[in-house]
Amino acid sequence: MSTREALIEEIVKQPEPVLRELQHYLAFLLEKQKNGNDGAIAPLAGAWPPGYFEKTAGAFAGEPLERPPELPFENRQEW
């Protein structure tokens, strides 16, 4: 059985909501392919931008770090 045949056989079994999700995913893949993504892994959403650590490493070099005074403990009622 070819990959195409196995995929079609599995698709036929799926409920409508799964088919809609699959259709959206396939449209996403086609759009990605059309825009010239040559199979490279796209950066994850929320990932650090390129060069982030190179630009920020040592940003506070030479600046003193000061610890603020501790706040008093909160007084709570006994149980």
| Number of domains observed in the structure of the chain | 1
pTM attached to this predicted model: 0.42
Instruction: Evaluate whether residue 63 is within a structural domain.
Output: no
Residue 63 is predicted with a pLDDT of: 84
Instruction: Evaluate whether residue 49 is within a structural domain.
Output: no
Q: What is the pLDDT of residues 9-22, one digit of tens each?
A: 999 999 999 999 99
Can you tell me the distance from the alpha carbon of 63 to that of 61, in angstroms, rounded to the nearest whole number?
A: 6
Instruction: Evaluate whether residue 10 is within a structural domain.
Output: yes
Instruction: Evaluate whether residue 75 is within a structural domain.
Output: no
Instruction: Evaluate whether residue 64 is within a structural domain.
Output: no
Helix or strand run (H / E) with residue 21: helix 16-34
Q: Of 23-27, 46-50, 69-73, which range is least confident? A: 46-50
Residue 59 has pLDDT above 60, yes or no: yes
